[in-house]
Amino acid sequence: MDTHRHDLPPRVRLEGARIWTACPERPWASSVELRDGRIAAVDGAPAPGVPSLRLPEGSVIAPGLIDGHLHLSLGAQTLAQVDLTGVRSRGEFEQAIADAARALAPGRWLRAFGWHEANWGGERPTREWLRGAGSVPCVAYRMDQHACVVNDAVLAMIAGRGCPAGGEVVRDAAGAPTGLLLEQAAWQLVNPIVPEAPAEDRRIALLAAMRHCNAFGITAVGSMEYRRDLRDVHSHLRTNAREACTVRVRATILDREWPVDLSWGRAFAGDELLAVVGWKSFADGTLGSRTARMLAPYADDAATCGMLVEFAEHDARHGTQRLREWARAVLDAGFSPAVHAIGDAALRASLDALEPVDAQRVARYEHCQTLDDADLPRMRGRIASMQPLHKADDARIAPARLGAARMRSFFRFRDLARAGARLSFGSDWPIVSCDPRLGIRAAVTALDLDGGTCMPDQALSVEESLLAYTSGAADALRAPDLGRIAPGAHADLCVFAEDPFACDWTRALPGIAATVLGGRTVHGAVPRAAAAGARV
């Protein structure tokens, strides 16, 4: 936590700044009163005895930003891993691994993340790229976490184990494993054997991850968590670390066993800092790995349409309805099902499975990166949980994967909004940065990470994007008292130093002056105007 922050009084009236409420009936206000962690009044008369704090002209108060889809525990782990996101060649990749191996404590695995073959021309890494690790077990995850490359030490540990359905152990021309594992091969063969960090290390990393989010104005997250990791989060929130927890966690459980066991979720003692809201299944993989399931073959690999995984793969192979039955069980228990669907075929399969059982339209369709015209009307009233910064990243490889004719199916923000879909935005951190401003830039400008423009006809306004990061995400996570500045809502605020509605998003990002959680400043400091009488 920022030790230089200035706490607000338990009761205070904020004025002077423009206040954007995210409430369509009254989007703008001139004052807001905070009382004991909640919004007490908006544009009300000054209450007797309540001090006023005037903010500088030009600043904007918005609801605390919400990342509707990230992986908080996984992101916390990556803070201590080798970061390969900036690597631009095989040489740099190998050097980063060798440097990390020299600094590694004895008995530890070398773990790295963030590589993307588009950063150096498309060659996928092999175990040879990890030779700098020597005999130390080494695993390096692709930026989407749907593929990893391992060295000989790890290959020896998994030798003789068959490749699980929905995965691939990539092999060379001689049939030997290259070290690259895709989808379920990575998740089921490698992930279970990677040693868990000590409990104290995990606690420190989790709190650091929360502060990392606070720096970007984030006060709540929809976190995709394995049950074992959520127990860590739970223990920190129920012990003396509670005061140090500075992000509200609305968790979705990633355990996908069959039959689904929801008893732990029903017994979970949730509160305003931590609650379980759903369960998640995967229908396919990613565009970058060519594992997203497409209706037609990949333009740059006509031999494949990608793959279905988990329940969707089982249904396609056996003609069953397991994905539907899973969703029905989740809904009947009072939770929302969330389905990862990036390819247009995977999204169609997910809609086919969930539409008949989701009358209230509370299911979340995660990613929705490609969408066929025939399925667009089916999204009316349904939750499209999307990550705009993924568009800026994947736009660099999408034309090759999809071909020019199918690019119109890619990240249809505007089309989904017009069709009446409910947009919820997030980042998928640590896959990409969790800074919502980068997501807003991608959604508003249609710029990709290389500075090119991709599908500008699908761009949104700043207000539409901010709604998806506030009230839209809150509603998707079933948290009506978050994501808006309205009486009774939590006093979670993001104070922009500059007006995001007047910002040239192609050139600059508005600064985050302060992040407020429940009336408590958890990042920066709420700015005071220089005029006389501005102090509290």
**What is the pLDDT confidence band of residue 3, given thresholds at 50, 70 and 90?**
very low
- Give residue 6's pLDDT: 58
The stretch 205-234 carries a mean pLDDT of 92
Structural element, H or E, at residue 263: helix 263-267
**Residue 216 domain-assigned?**
no
Provide CB contacts within 8 A for 30, sequence distance 6+. 15, 19, 43
**What is the pLDDT confidence band of residue 532, given thresholds at 50, 70 and 90?**
very low
In this model, does residue 418 exceed pLDDT 60? yes
Q: Is 400 helix (H, G, I), strand (E, B) or coil?
A: helix
Say if residue 349 is in the same domain as residue 460. Answer: yes
The stretch 419-444 carries a mean pLDDT of 97
- Give residue 197's pLDDT: 84
In this model, does residue 271 exceed pLDDT 60? yes
Q: Which long-range contacts (CB under 8 A, 24 or more apart) does 503-507 make?
A: 503/462, 505/440, 505/441, 505/444, 505/445, 505/462, 506/441, 506/445, 506/447
In this model, does residue 387 exceed pLDDT 90? yes
Give the β-pairing of 65-70 and 512-517.
unpaired
**Residue 433 domain-assigned?**
yes
**Residue 378 domain-assigned?**
yes
**Residue 219 domain-assigned?**
no
How far apart CA 149 and CA 201 sit, in angstroms, is 25
**What is the pLDDT confidence band of residue 286, given thresholds at 50, 70 and 90?**
very high
> What average pLDDT is seen over the chain?
94
Q: What is the per-residue pLDDT across 343-362, written as a single tens digit (0 to 9) for each? A: 999 999 999 999 999 999 99
Range scoring the smallest mean pLDDT among 63-67, 116-120, 487-491: 116-120
C-alpha torsion sign, points 27, 526, 64, 443: positive
Say if residue 344 is in the same domain as residue 466. Answer: yes
Contact 185, 162 (CB under 8 A): no
Say if residue 467 is in the same domain as residue 323. Answer: yes
- Give residue 5's pLDDT: 46
**Residue 231 domain-assigned?**
no
- Give residue 2's pLDDT: 42
**What is the pLDDT confidence band of residue 154, given thresholds at 50, 70 and 90?**
very high
Whether the pTM exceeds 0.85: the reply is: yes
**Residue 258 domain-assigned?**
no
The stretch 189-211 carries a mean pLDDT of 90
- Give residue 145's pLDDT: 87
The stretch 497-504 carries a mean pLDDT of 97
Range scoring the smallest mean pLDDT among 35-39, 85-89, 231-235, 357-361: 231-235
112 lies in which domain range?
Answer: 81-193
Contact 279, 366 (CB under 8 A): no
Q: What is the per-residue pLDDT across 306-338, written as a single tens digit (0 to 9) for each? A: 999 999 999 999 999 999 999 999 999 999 999
The stretch 373-392 carries a mean pLDDT of 98
DSSP 273: S
- Give residue 231's pLDDT: 79
**Residue 259 domain-assigned?**
no
How far apart CA 361 and CA 352 sit, in angstroms, is 13
In this model, does residue 240 exceed pLDDT 60? no
Could you tell me what percent of the chain has a pLDDT over 70? 97
**What is the pLDDT confidence band of residue 243, given thresholds at 50, 70 and 90?**
confident
Count of Cβ atoms closer than 10 Å to residue 8 Cβ: 21
- Give residue 447's pLDDT: 98
Q: Which of 449, 476, 503 is the endpoint of a domain?
A: 476
> Which residues are registered as beta bridge partners of 54?
15
Per-residue tokens: 527: 């700015």
Give the CATH number of the domain where residue 411 resides. Answer: 3.20.20.140
Q: Provide the domain count of the chain.
A: 2
Say if residue 426 is in the same domain as residue 305. Answer: yes
Q: Which of 451, 476, 501 is the endpoint of a domain?
A: 476
Nearest to 115 by CA among 128, 96, 134: 96
Q: Which of 458, 476, 494 is the endpoint of a domain?
A: 476
Say if residue 163 is in the same domain as residue 289. Answer: no
**Residue 418 domain-assigned?**
yes
Give the CATH number of the domain where residue 121 resides. Answer: 3.10.310.70
